[in-house]
Structure 1
């Protein structure tokens, strides 16, 4: 398989409100695409984030959108300043620092930064 692109789709109850929330939280411009009614897409690094106006009921599986940044602790503080309820920084020795939070529709997100081996 030669994958050339990845798109992660998240269900949202109010597309306009979710678009504003994701633009503010992820510091995004206008959506890059509106491929169909009730769908917007943002190019976020090497991945496409697709928000779709649909019921956000949960099945047995749960998607977590994980985004890598240079400094998870700094991003956590920035999000706290925006009023986003964020979890504590978790440290996985020699791997990552990360924290979790949810969007207004209950979709789980996680921000992480890589840490040097032995840290």
Structure 2
């Protein structure tokens, strides 16, 4: 199998509000497309992020969208400045720096950077 692209879909309650939040938090400037009614999609780094207007349902395990960034500490400071509520910035020596947070609909997100 040769994978040529990845699209991640997340449920949101209010599509326009969620699009604004994701654009601000992930600094997305590319235009969105509407592949189906109640669904928007835009590019976030190497993936396509698809938001669909539906009540987020939680049962069992929850998917976490983890995004690699050049400097997790810098992103932690930037998002704190935007008022995003974040978990603790963790530092694992010789491995990774990371932090977890959620979007306004409770979807689990995380940012990380590798360190030496």
Q: Do the two structures share a fold, i.e. TM-score over 0.5? A: yes
In structure 2, relative to structure 1, the CA distance for the partners of 1:83 and 1:64 (3 Å cut) is: same
Are 1:31 and 1:40, in contact at CA under 8 Å, matched by a contact in 2? Answer: no
- The CA distance in 1 between the partners of 2:83 and 2:43, in whole Å, is 24
Are 2:15 and 2:38, in contact at CA under 8 Å, matched by a contact in 1? Answer: yes
Which segments of 5 or more consecutive residues in structure 2 lack a partner in the other structure?
none
- After superposition, the CA RMSD in angstroms is 1.1
Q: Identify the residue that residue 52 of structure 2 maps to in structure 1.
A: 52
Q: Identify the residue that residue 43 of structure 2 maps to in structure 1.
A: 43
- Give CA-to-partner distance per residue, 1:84-111, whole Å, 9 cap, x none: 0011111223221000111000001101
Task: Map residues 9-88 of structure 1 onto 2, 5 A cutoff.
Answer: 9-88=9-88
What's the TM-score once normalised by structure 1's chain length?
Answer: 0.92
Are 1:23 and 1:30, in contact at CA under 8 Å, matched by a contact in 2? Answer: no
- The CA distance in 2 between the partners of 1:114 and 1:32, in whole Å, is 30
The SS at the match of 1:22 is helix
Q: Identify the residue that residue 93 of structure 2 maps to in structure 1.
A: 93
What's the TM-score once normalised by structure 2's chain length?
Answer: 0.95
- The CA distance in 1 between the partners of 2:52 and 2:43, in whole Å, is 15
The SS at the match of 2:57 is coil
Which segments of 5 or more consecutive residues in structure 1 lack a partner in the other structure?
none
The SS at the match of 1:97 is strand
